[in-house]
Amino acid sequence: MSETKSTLIKINDVIYDISNFKHPGGSILNQFVNTDATSSFNEFHFRSKKAHKILNSLPKVDSSTGQKFFENKELREDFKKLKKTIADSGYFKPSFMHVYYRLGEVSLMYLLGVWFMFNLNYWENLGFITAAFILGITDGRCGWLMHEAGHYSLTGDIKTDRTIQTITYGLGCGMSGSYWRNQHNKHHASPQKIQHDVDLDTLPLVAFHKNIKHKIHPKNKLMLAWINYQAYFFAPVSTTLVVLFWQFYLHPRFCLRRKLYNELAISLPIRLVLFYGLVYFANIENIFLFYLMKTTVAANYIFVNFAVSHTHRDIVDKDKHVDWVVYASSHTSNVEPSWWCNWWMSYLNFQIEHHLFPSLPQFNAPLIAPLVKSFFKKHNLVYDSHSYVDALKITFHNLYLVSKS
């Protein structure tokens, strides 16, 4: 009987037995056992007919079993009403003009970077640096673009969005879209939760919380020494090392194990051949330095902007259950909007709205923010938001405090 209870989950007031179900996303389902996962399921699978079909095929359990589930009915019902209001306003509908703009933007930025590559003789060192900077920022913009496609909120069509993600993440960042979805969804399921949020699994290069640092064995003097100076190493050193590790080991290994040869081909040989061809014909002598510079720019652009959203917030114990909405409130932070910040962070400065509704097209986040603020106020939830400069200060100060803990 106890074994049965340990493998039950509640979705839309129906209890399902998941003891023999192997989730396509891997272990992500384990953290929802004995909980009401309605909000999580509905947000993750907003556009997936296949997911709803699979759910309906799972064995159902009589609600009279007496099994108790972690749930906040009032918050869940109000959240459903909030989502209906947003949906009725048309904010979940993707915009193809937005898709064309995003694809056109990265294409033009790449062309601009390549133009500087082929005009280095005129610009000399300034041209070398400018080309690396523009191409690095553009790689980062591909990261923002693939992120939206990975949540199926770019075009709203799962196959199309996956294709866009595979190409932009592969050619732009040298990484696998499938690996990203596998890991990133675990983060969305439980941000800042120990042993569940993969974004907390950052050793040996960085520790965002003292509990993570304390995992380091006292005899590991080298790692402790590195973490003690992490506030100074995080940007640009740690971020760049992570990207290089992902590009040339972690993601290729994942693709080989999953037999994702198309993603492997795009992210590694095809991307490197295109890069080498460009630098060869542009007569750039120090190929490695150029690649390292643009990779450093891209790594810091992406990772620093991601870090400001969560890393300073409280963590959740591995055995504690937290409501979907509370995760967005207590473990997520926004960066105050402005025209340049919205562009710079590709609307992911609205991280609270994004965690509540990951399937929402990101450019609509500013439009729903007032509704979310009212909803939070009603339920006495914190809407944490800081200026961009303050968010950076808080993030790096947290790194410093953890290093000294």
The pLDDT of residue 318: 84
Span 121-159, pLDDT tens digits:
666 778 889 999 999 999 999 999 999 999 999 999 999
Measure CA 128 to chain center. Answer: 31
Say which DSSP state 64 is in: G
The pLDDT of residue 231: 96
In terms of average pLDDT, the best of 61-75, 111-125, 244-258 is: 244-258
**Rg of the chain, C-alpha, whole Å:** 22
Least confident of 188-192, 378-382, 395-399: 188-192
Q: List Cα–Cα distances, 328 to 112, 154, 347, 352, in angstroms.
A: 38, 22, 16, 5
Asked whether 289 and 163 are in contact (CB, 8 A), the reply is no
Asked whether 177 and 150 are in contact (CB, 8 A), the reply is yes
Q: List Cα–Cα distances, 267 to 102, 111, 178, 255, 356, in angstroms.
A: 20, 20, 12, 10, 31
The pLDDT of residue 123: 64
User: What are φ and ψ of residue 71, in 5° steps?
Assistant: -160, 155
Alpha carbon distance 261, 100 (integer Å): 28
> Which domains, ranges and CATH numbers included, belong to the chain?
2-71 (3.10.120.10), 73-405 (no CATH)
Handedness of CA 135, 137, 139, 141 (dihedral sign): negative
State the average pLDDT for the chain: 91
Beta-bridged to residue 193, according to DSSP, are 316
For residue 17, give the 3-state DSSP assignment.
Answer: strand
Q: Report the pLDDT averaged over residues 300-307.
A: 96
Q: Report the pLDDT averaged over residues 368-384.
A: 96
The pLDDT of residue 3: 43
Burial class (CB in 10 A: 0-12, 13-18, 19+), 266: buried
Q: List Cα–Cα distances, 336 to 313, 327, 349, 400, in angstroms.
A: 17, 19, 7, 24
Angle, CA 13 vertex, CA 7 and CA 15 arms, to 5°: 25
Alpha carbon distance 33, 28 (integer Å): 10
Give this prediction's pTM: 0.92
The pLDDT of residue 71: 67
Q: b/e map of 33-51 (b: 16 or more CB within 10 Å)? A: bbbbbbbbbbbbbbbeeee
The pLDDT of residue 256: 97
Asked if pLDDT for residue 90 goes beyond 50, the answer is: yes
Alpha carbon distance 343, 357 (integer Å): 20
Q: Report the pLDDT averaged over residues 42-64.
A: 85
For residue 68, give the 3-state DSSP assignment.
Answer: coil
Handedness of CA 333, 329, 33, 147 (dihedral sign): negative
In terms of average pLDDT, the best of 1-5, 54-58, 199-203, 388-392 is: 388-392
Angle, CA 185 vertex, CA 179 and CA 191 arms, to 5°: 125
Tokens 């040298």 correspond to what residue? 174
Report the percent of the chain where pLDDT is more than 90.
69
The pLDDT of residue 350: 98
Span 313-366, pLDDT tens digits:
999 988 888 889 999 999 999 999 999 999 999 999 999 999 999 999 999 999
Asked whether 347 and 397 are in contact (CB, 8 A), the reply is no
Secondary element (H or E) of residue 9? strand 8-11
The pLDDT of residue 310: 92
> How many CB atoms are closer than 10 A to CB 158?
14
Structure tokens at 95: 């915009």
Q: How confident is the model at residue 66 (pLDDT cuts 50, 70, 90)?
A: low
Q: Which of 157, 85, 94, 48 is nearest to 361 (CA)?
A: 94
> Counting runs of H as helices and runs of E as strands, what totals does the chain give?
22, 5
Check whether the bond before 191 is cis (ω within 30° of 0).
Answer: no
Q: Report the pLDDT averaged over residues 268-294.
A: 93
Span 218-273, pLDDT tens digits:
999 999 999 999 999 999 999 999 999 999 999 999 999 999 999 999 999 999 99
Asked whether 71 and 132 are in contact (CB, 8 A), the reply is no
Say which DSSP state 59 is in: P
Asked whether 3 and 27 are in contact (CB, 8 A), the reply is no
The pLDDT of residue 128: 87
